[in-house]
Structure 1
């Protein structure tokens, strides 16, 4: 018990040291913390998952709380990424081999590469031959790579739900080659619910769980190719297609009316107006993603998260309500869209969940 407590205290101390280094932009100090941990006998996998991973989560949390700028967040992430590269070079000559071959990639449009990089390095340590393709991998390039290398499994990472349609296309394209797909990342839901909906062969919440699952079982090769609409028949109503196709017009129309409904906006600087338009574009993108998945909670959760971000940045979160009202007016002929908007509005105003009557009215 005492040894366990001592080890936990030591890990916490190192996490604190690594956080101090990356948040200060001190790459040398960050690398020293990690190599010292290796030198003291900490297993390489533990360095990756119990030091670097929690620090990277803190980086994201600090950005969301407005205690770290975008520039600082990017710098900290880059330090962690380069530290992983240095560590990988250190242990690459000593890892086992023979487990099989896998490809690890981020879906097209996904720029958050560190979770996928962690998975790639953990699987290397466990004996896999890993092709890590990095961020924003176009699906056709991914498929070409699969045909060239013949991996036993493909692992796809996606952290932002607006990329779920692209992830779905990648999943079905990879499966059409006869290769099973394991997915991970926040976009697939806290419990992997969207991974199942999109027909992925397996899901894992983090790198350790993904590697453990691959240790326990061999994922079977997909039985037959299929199309995205086979998984999501509701797409036949075309609401997702129409919302994505008119995205620019929806943002422009909402911006044009928002100044009348939210008088404070009249005094916004050009920069503030640009940020507002950007926020509206994100709202439309998440509305489209929720239409694609057919899950109101995805949109509601995003609006709740956005309200918290706005509050942290000293922007009144209630400004979201008139924006949603205007968006609903623009989409008055789209019943699923109106249902999603109403539920999100009810959540933000605290008026309770949508009832069957609300759904019928919408």
Structure 2
């Protein structure tokens, strides 16, 4: 089938990468980018770091202009989809026919009861980051409570501490990120917060927000109230796919779009899904996986471009890489730890906490976490791309 009309829902890194990639690959048909965020397209990782700190002007995170890709930009939200008639409907009243549709609509932040409320923030959009930055200016050296100890919560804590703000980080799990990293590695990583003056409360589920019109604190389920001049909520996200209900597009229980290893939804391959909304089949694991990381969206976008322009289908390999800037250093996770992995930790002395964790099943290296140790990360990358085993990597780390 000839492809003359491509519509992309979502203008963040995945959607913009598809648009640019299609033009680079020689696609000459019509191209539409749909996103309700008037500031898109821009890169999200700096929102909780450089933009929030005021170190970067927002223009620096731009991913380009739709005009560069000869794409028509629709500042609107998708409201419904007719995959049989191949028509996307927007809240502006427009209807967009398509030959290929790319679902790159991202995710929505989970919230607490009582939100929205002045002084309570999520960090998902550029506007969110700028509002929080203004509020941090307002509170000066006051008290910030962050609910959720994942990467975004940790990055906001790091940025706020650099501004001299008192930070309490509250996490429902006993150790932040233990579900991803395992208890041993997560406990090592959590020490970064204490090193930098953050009060970390693990095993502390939140009951609700305190205050009238404006927030004054956070109440824990044990009855403790944490005074707060501002609150950041980083308790995860959910796929932004409510509008797909009743469309026939297959969704998992959490709203993720089920697709194959080519990121295609259905046998006719007229609809694709990438990024936070995509639950793609991983042939190596034998199951569908949804990954909420920047590199995943970029890799899937390239697979979709190959699928649209052909002649051969691309395959998403699920080569996972996650990084975070924390307290002036770098945290990197290569691969995907599993709960039954064996764990080996190598530490190095120095002015800043530095360590590496190898996740392995027998002699096979499955994943690696490195903290403030670029050479250890390079060693792990080479090992996972070649025949070296976990013992070889750990031995090499000890010699660095």
Identify which of structures 1 and 2 has the higher relative contact order when contacts are C-alpha pairs closer than 8 Å and 6+ apart: 2
Structure number with the higher helix fraction is: 1
Please say whether Structure 1 and Structure 2 have the same fold, judged by a TM-score greater than 0.5: no
Task: Give the TM-score taking structure 2 as reference length.
Answer: 0.29
